[in-house]
């Protein structure tokens, strides 16, 4: 089958350059913007009204383009063993802080152990006197009392309500969302109130969407308690719920006041949830941070064994990658879509197999394997990357093949309503070139997609 014309393509490179540039090709009415942030600079030339082909090169000097000068405590990305890395802090209880720079919507990500025992971190982001904590029946019994104490200790003017939702992806729907609205309205919460999401990605997505919608928008705070939520879903302001025809099709971009990551909450995380979250960590290395991927290969066993230093570094480096991308492309005009490597295939598995049958990271792991397979069939990567991806996912005890129930038609049917479809054309995130490089494009040979689907599932 002939290659389809490309209405939109982004190429992402992790190679260091003197400056960063987003270059618009073959577009006579493009605009040009240069943002100076010494010693780094970002050049953006684009027109997102009628995009054609975009090539992106990111300056990876240091850890972040727009947040390098604001991060309070920094660990440089390194392929050395995590045990060889050191962090110098004047205060051992002070959290590591990664900033998400979005102008007047900027916010900090606090990372460290014991942060729920530091009330000032939460209290300075609560602007009114009323708080609603949204959690589930697994996390609530473990951490709700601690969060309530953190919100109210030495702060008697603040009152806290809570709503406990059922746990699981299958409850990320409109009926469950209404329980949050019911509690807020019954409690007569006003526009000065703050919602707090306490839990994994499902709770964070639903609480954030409720905050975006309640009284047309109120403040909210993210307290993620899973690796998946800590390294990905709590950062960047994507909120929403599922529809039975597709995952995350109903939602809003809505940024929190802060993200508080108390790494001690991972002590109660089941092994399967831990592995699921590592799929998103691995993703960052594949799409934009080759050094980080090499570090993961050396430290995957330490991560699986819950080594606190390894986990802290993986969370921090993942948040820095996510914050950098979100700061450049908050509303997913192009660059941010690259964070969805494997998600188009993975979301099809979650929808076709049934929400909650597999964890999100398990589906994404298989999706990444399929995206890598397709990239290889297109001749865009060599087989060493294919082998390395299989190896690290297997070490992380993640699946590399979809469930047997999936068919080619099931994949195609669900992928046809994916959010990355534009003008009827499915755009995919695929690897291209050396490790750490990817493209977001609709310009690929459709035979490669068909061959990948047939190689992994039944006709």
pLDDT tens-digit series, residues 81-138: 444 443 444 566 789 999 999 999 999 999 999 999 999 999 999 999 999 999 999 9
Let me know if residue 371 belongs to a domain: no
238 is catalytic: yes
Contact predicate 158/194, CB 8 Å = no
What's the domain count of the chain? Answer: 1
Query: Does 280 participate in catalysis according to the annotation?
Result: yes
Q: Is 340 a catalytic residue?
A: yes
Secondary structure class of 21 (helix, strand, coil): strand
Q: Out of 54-58, 267-271, 325-329, which region has the weakest mean confidence (pLDDT)? A: 54-58
Q: What is the CATH number of the domain that holds 176?
A: 3.40.50.1970
Burial class (CB in 10 A: 0-12, 13-18, 19+), 454: exposed
Count CB-CB contacts under 10 A for residue 31. 12
Considering the domain boundaries, does residue 329 fall inside one? no
Q: Say if 393 falls within a structural domain.
A: no
Q: Name 216's Cβ contacts closer than 8 Å, sequence gap at least 6.
A: none
Residues forming a β-bridge with 252: 239
| 360: in domain | no
At 425, the pLDDT band (50, 70, 90 cuts) reads confident
- Residue 11: its pLDDT value, please? 53
C-alpha angle 338-339-344 in degrees, rounded to nearest 5: 80
Place of tokens 């948040």: 319
Count other Cβ atoms within 10 Å, centred on residue 229: 28
Which range of residues forms the domain containing residue 177?
102-268
The one catalytic residue in 280, 291, 350, 362 is 280
Average pLDDT over residues 337-359: 92
d(CA 367, CA 348): 9
CA-to-CA dists, residue 47 to 26, 51, 82, 331, 440, angstroms: 11, 6, 42, 14, 17
Catalytic status, residue 244: no
Spatial separation of the C-alpha atoms in residues 130 and 192, rounded to whole Å: 7
Whether 177 and 205 have beta carbons less than 8 Å apart is answered as no
The predicted structure's pLDDT at residue 245: 86
> 286-299, pLDDT tens digit by residue?
999 999 999 999 99
Does 27 participate in catalysis according to the annotation? no
Residue of 24, 138, 283, 347 with catalytic role:
347
| 235 neighbors 319 (Cβ within 8 angstroms) | yes
Q: Is 397 exposed, middle or buried (0-12, 13-18, 19+ CB in 10 A)?
A: middle
Question: Does residue 6 sit within a domain?
Answer: no
* pLDDT score recorded for residue 55: 38
What pLDDT, in 10s, does the model give residues 148-170? 999 999 998 999 999 999 999 99
How high is the mean pLDDT of the chain? Answer: 83
Does 83 map to a domain?
no
Q: Is residue 52 predicted with pLDDT exceeding 60?
A: no
Active site annotation includes 23? no
Element housing 364 (H / E): helix 360-377
What pTM did the predictor assign? 0.79
**pLDDT tier at 458 (50, 70, 90 boundaries)?**
confident
Q: Tens digits of per-residue pLDDT, 211-254? A: 999 999 999 999 999 999 999 999 999 999 999 988 889 999 99
Please report, for residues 111, 126, 137, 188, the alpha-carbon distance to residue 220 in angstroms, rounded to integers and kept in the order given.
Answer: 18, 8, 20, 17
Whether 339 maps to a domain, the answer reads: no
Q: What is the predicted pLDDT for the residue at 356?
A: 82
Please indicate, yes or no, if residue 63 is contained in any of the structural domains.
no
């Amino acid at each position: 089958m002939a290659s389809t014309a490309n209405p939109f393509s982004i190429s992402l490179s992790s190679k260091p350059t003197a400056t960063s540039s987003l270059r618009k090709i073959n577009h006579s009415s493009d605009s040009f913007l240069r943002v100076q942030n010494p010693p780094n600079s970002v050049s953006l030339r684009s027109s997102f009204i009628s995009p054609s082909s975009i090539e992106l090169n990111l300056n990876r000097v240091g850890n972040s383009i727009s947040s390098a000068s604001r991060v309070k405590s920094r660990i440089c990305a390194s392929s050395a063993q995590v045990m060889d890395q050191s962090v110098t802090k004047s205060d051992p209880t002070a959290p590591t802080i990664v900033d998400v720079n979005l102008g007047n919507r900027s916010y900090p990500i606090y990372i460290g152990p014991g942060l729920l025992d530091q009330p000032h971190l939460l209290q300075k982001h609560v602007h009114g006197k009323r708080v609603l904590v949204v959690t589930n029946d697994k996390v609530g019994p473990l951490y709700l009392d601690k969060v309530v104490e953190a919100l109210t200790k030495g702060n008697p003017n603040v009152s806290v309500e809570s709503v406990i939702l059922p746990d699981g992806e299958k409850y990320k729907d409109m009926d469950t969302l209404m329980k949050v609205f019911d509690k807020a309205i019954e409690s007569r919460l006003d526009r000065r109130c703050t919602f707090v999401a306490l839990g994994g990605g499902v709770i964070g997505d639903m609480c954030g969407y409720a905050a975006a919608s309640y009284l047309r928008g109120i403040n909210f705070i993210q307290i993620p308690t899973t690796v998946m939520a800590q390294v990905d879903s709590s950062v960047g302001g994507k909120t929403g719920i599922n529809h039975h025809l597709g995952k995350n099709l109903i939602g809003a971009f809505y940024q929190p006041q802060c993200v508080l990551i108390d790494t001690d909450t991972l002590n109660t995380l089941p092994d399967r949830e831990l592995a699921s979250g590592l799929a998103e960590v691995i993703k960052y290395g594949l799409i934009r941070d080759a050094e980080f991927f090499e570090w993961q290969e050396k430290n995957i066993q330490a991560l699986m064994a819950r080594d606190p230093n390894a986990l802290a570094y993986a969370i921090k480096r993942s948040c820095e990658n996510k914050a950098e991308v979100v700061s450049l492309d908050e509303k997913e005009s192009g660059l941010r879509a690259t964070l969805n490597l494997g998600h188009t295939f993975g979301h099809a598995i979650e929808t076709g197999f049934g929400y909650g049958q597999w964890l999100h990271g398990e589906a994404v792991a298989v999706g990444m394997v399929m995206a890598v397979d397709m990239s290889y069939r297109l001749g865009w990567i060599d087989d060493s990357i294919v082998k390395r991806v299989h190896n690290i996912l297997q070490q992380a005890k993640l699946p590399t093949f979809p469930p047997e129930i999936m068919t080619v038609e099931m994949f195609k049917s669900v992928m046809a309503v994916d959010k990355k479809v534009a003008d009827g054309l499915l755009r995919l995130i695929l690897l291209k070139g050396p490790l750490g490089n990817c493209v977001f494009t609709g310009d690929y040979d459709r035979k490669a997609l068909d061959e990948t689907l047939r190689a992994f599932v039944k006709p």
